[in-house]
Amino acid sequence: MVTEDLWSAEKYVKNASFVPQMTSSIVEMAKLKPTDRVLDIGCGDGVLTKKLSSQCAHVIGVDASDNLLKAAKAKALEVYRIPGQDILQAKTVLPDASFDVVFSNAAFHWILRKPEERAIVMQGVHRVLRKGGRFVVEAGGFGNVAEAMTSIYAFYLSRGVPRETIDDLCPFYFGSEHGYMKLLEDAGFQVESIGIFDRPTPLVDDVRGWIDTFAFNFYSAFPEWKQDLLDFVYQAMKFVSEREDGRWFVQYKRLRFSALKP
């Protein structure tokens, strides 16, 4: 797993503009009140954080990527470089029980990537929420982008890379309702609602731009195979992912939950 910041705010704007655009119902689900203090985890370039800020008293954004945070700061938002795993310890910037709502869109599939860090992330969220506060999340769920993941795995397996090595390169956790319920309840949350739904997602061009924006970690260990990987996945997915008019779609599965700190 690479640790340097390979996120590009420019690629994100070009290939991921659908992320904040397809969020109206998760924002509605958050039911923000004008008095609410909100923490936006994985705020990225701040497009959605800005939208939240118009509906509540104050919003603070945190993210692991300095490149994306630079774009968020340019929107006059209060943001900090705090990876999800560090929320538990970040008591100066994020004091105990200081938020009415913790919100996150399209970030928890990255943040919970490592099994051993999942409980720590959930405990951090629990710490910063006030009693009665809500934790509202949308992220990639079980079976998300299956055609892309299967094609990427098939490429590396066909070149003799062991499955465990590919797992280490995979930057995602696509948890099920069952997996999330356990994580939430173990951390002391009461789950109000949870479910997974399909969201076919149009791409700006084709899957090669999508991989370059989101799944670049896969080729970090084998940079010499990057072009071969992109070509292989393009060919493998074309039949199921390209519409008659040439537009590409990836089959996203969104997991959404609302949980209470009792």
Binding residues for ligand BEZ (CB under 6 A): 106, 109, 140, 144-145, 172, 214, 252
Closer of 189 and 214 to ligand BEZ (Cβ): 214
Burial per residue of 41-63, b for 16 or more beta-carbon CB atoms within 10 angstroms, e otherwise = bbbbbbbbbbebbeebeebbbbb
Shortest separation between residue 139's beta carbon and ligand BEZ, angstroms: 6
Nearer to ligand BEZ, 59 or 106 (CB): 106
For ligand BEZ, the closer of residues 47 and 128 by Cβ is: 47
The distance of closest approach from Cβ of residue 109 to ligand BEZ in the complex, given in angstroms and rounded to an integer, is: 5
Q: CA–CA separation, 204 vs 21, rounded Å?
A: 13
Between residues 61 and 140, which has the closer beta carbon with respect to ligand BEZ?
A: 140
Residue 172: CB minimum distance to ligand BEZ, A: 6
Structure tokens given for 144: 């998300």
259, 169 in Cβ contact below 8 A?
no
Which one, 85 or 144, has the nearer CB to ligand BEZ? 144
Largest CA distance in the chain: 56
Smallest gap from Cβ 115 to ligand BEZ, in A, equals: 18
* Cα torsion through 225, 226, 227, 229, rounded to 10: 80
Minimum CB distance to ligand BEZ, residue 214 (Å): 4
- List for the chain the helix, strand, coil content (%; round to 5): 45, 25, 30
Q: From the CB of 88, what's the least distance to ligand BEZ, in Å?
A: 24
Name the token pair of 244: 């008659």
Is the separation of the CB atoms in 135 and 72 below 8 Å?
Answer: no
User: Shortest Cβ contact with ligand BEZ: which residue?
Assistant: 140
Task: CB nearer to ligand BEZ: give 142 or 225.
Answer: 142
